[in-house]
Chains A and B, each alone.
Chain A
Amino acid sequence: MNPTLGIFVIILLITLGITYWAARRTSTTADFYAADSQLTACQNGFALAGDWCSAAAFLGFTGLTALYGMDGAFYALGPLVAFCTVLFLIAEPMRNTGKYTLGDIIRSRMQTRTSLLAAIVGTVVVNFAYLMPQMAGAGVLVRLLTGISYDWAVVFVGISMIVYVAFGGMLATTWVQIVKAVLMLSAGAIILVMILSLVHFNPLTLFAETEQKYGAKYLLPGNYLKNPFDQISLGLGYTLGLAGLPHVMTRFYTVPDAKTARRSVVWVMFLAGAFFAGTTIFGLAAADFVGQDVIRAADRGGNLTLPLLAQYLGGGKGTFGGDLMLGFVAAVAVATILAVVSALTLSTSSAIAHDFYVNWVKRGLVEVKQEVWLARAAAVVIGVLAIALGILAQGVNVAVLVILAICVAASANFPVLMLSLFWRRFNTGGVVGGMAVGLVSSVALAMIGPAMRGADALWPLVNPTVVSLPLGFLGAVLGTFAWGRDEENEQRFDAFLLQVHTGVASK
């Protein structure tokens, strides 16, 4: 039996066992959306690492470093720095203020239906923009790794995530993420030790040998990101976009209080950060040992670099050790995708069931039992939609969607969230203005840029965050002033601040 398939079947059985266990413990809305807020800082730290490291991080960073040198290392650093913003400004207020969703925070600050609707749009757009390329990536990856067809691979991933989320809710999603994070970090640690033993524990050898093979240019910036402003957009998108990604931020609702939320961020910064740093070493090692030609021949984008490196370290093609290592890394890659798409599906179904149906359409007048069933049904519908979109996306350039997801999160969700938490005068007009301007400018600029139009681009940047983020803030401020003073909202701000910083709600 193919070792990838064998190892993956074991992982699948474990996650299904977890789902069965979680389903028996999931009956209330608090269970379904937030795992009853009972996780420890360490558990949530691992789950955050499982949530935040997508296949783009697990496979992509290593590939980029192997093929383009320093730019790959830049890609890997951003997602760690992003957690500084989250730790300082977002994690604790998020835990203190909301209950299950990003929409909860906007709703409790503004107490208007219009602002809640704007928050729902922000969540759903970002989640789908993120989910679709994950599904397409899953299709390509599972096909490459196991040999089943693209369409079946998408269907298989989709059905797995629907089962995890619809039956096990946040508890199952969390433990799938924890299992994946443990596997990912173990794979990383094994690969790192093997690399270091090959270079006699002197990583500088890797720099010297790759420079000798690929020239001095290899270790310089600008091989992948040619436009300097794209470098800056990437940096801004990461550092501020993470704080606007609903599927990661809702993880803070799974812990009991702000102190635990804070400690869980410190956990993820060390766990995921160590892995990100590792990918730079892995990439250099792959360029050195495996070689860029072999990497490109396997996949032009370099996405198979890490499996190939693992195979080399295990003893090479055709050996038992080589096949085992390849199988292990490939199976972890599939587990990675499952963990991320499950979180996206859960976060989107929370926005649809909790924010949209219960709080917007029904104005909160829905029984708990009924809401849980609604959320489960929403997960099924969203999962089916994601499968359909994933199949339709075959062959389409989905890279632009990944950029778009982070860009909209940074340009629309982030300004609205920040101003809601910290600006007394901010009002419903500002929420709508920030959301609309951030969203429209991100989408419009990405669509007319080189990612979509290639050489015919009307605008030079692949990633428009450097322009759309200030526009989003501007839209939020102008919207606030255009709406006029909302005295009641400004008077409520003291009570809101109390809740943001202490978690105590006062009337």
Chain B
Amino acid sequence: MARNVGSLEAAHASVKLLVAEKLKYLVPMTIVFMTSYIGLTILAGFAKDLMGTRLIGSLNLGFALIAFNYLLSWGLAIVYGRIAADRFDPLAARAVADIARSGEAK
């Protein structure tokens, strides 16, 4: 019985570690895409002339920033997939193993 409770607590501790690890990556990544996208809408609303700055021919800064946001979203998706597989999945597996041990002890 004591081992059972101990493993459950170990599982909860592993999850806390996992949540902390997730926050470490997801908070900055969320800030990046929200700043980039909401920032773009704010610029569109309040800085039209800046958005109209010509870059190449008739292509202006606004369209370039829109294109950048597409690339950023796709890039973040791939990066997230990597981080999740390398960092989150092993920690989740550890918590599951802890739980399995508590199940055996029953």
List residues of A whose CB falls within 8 A of some B CB: 70-71, 73-74, 77-78, 80-81, 83-85, 87-89, 92, 204, 207-208, 210-211, 216, 219-222, 225, 227-232, 234-236, 239, 259, 262-263, 265-266, 269-270, 273, 276-277, 280, 494-495, 497-498, 501-502, 504, 506
Contacts and interface: CB of A to CB of B under 8 A. Distances in A.
Contacts of A263: 81
B41 A232 contact: yes
A224 B57 CA distance: 24
Contact of A208 (B44, B57, B78): B57
Contact of B29 (A81, A88, A262): A88
Contact of B99 (A71, A73, A239, A506): A506
Contacts of B29: 84, 88
Contact of A232 (B45, B69, B85): B45
Contacts of B84: 92, 259, 262
A222 B37 contact: no
Given A265-B77, A266-B77, A498-B95, 15 more contacts: A73-B66, A81-B33, A81-B73, A92-B84, A204-B58, A208-B58, A232-B45, A234-B41, A235-B38, A239-B34, A259-B89, A273-B70, A277-B70, A501-B22, A506-B8
B25 to A, nearest CB: 9
A79 B62 CA distance: 18
B52 A235 contact: no
Count class of interface residues, chain B: 35 or more
Contact of A269 (B22, B51, B66, B74): B74
A506 B11 contact: yes
Contacts of B19: 497, 501
Nearest to A211: B58
Consensus secondary structure, chain A interface: helix
Interface of B: 8, 11-12, 15-16, 18-19, 22, 26, 29-30, 33-34, 37-38, 40-42, 44-46, 48, 51-52, 56-60, 62-63, 66-67, 69-70, 73-74, 76-78, 80-81, 84-85, 89, 92, 95-96, 99, 102
B73 A273 contact: yes
Contact of A239 (B8, B22, B37): B37
A72 B30 CA distance: 24
A155 to B, nearest CB: 39
Contacts of B16: 497
Q: Which of A228, A230, A236, A495 has the most CB of B within 10 A?
A: A228
Given A77-B66, A88-B80, A498-B95, A219 B60 contact: yes
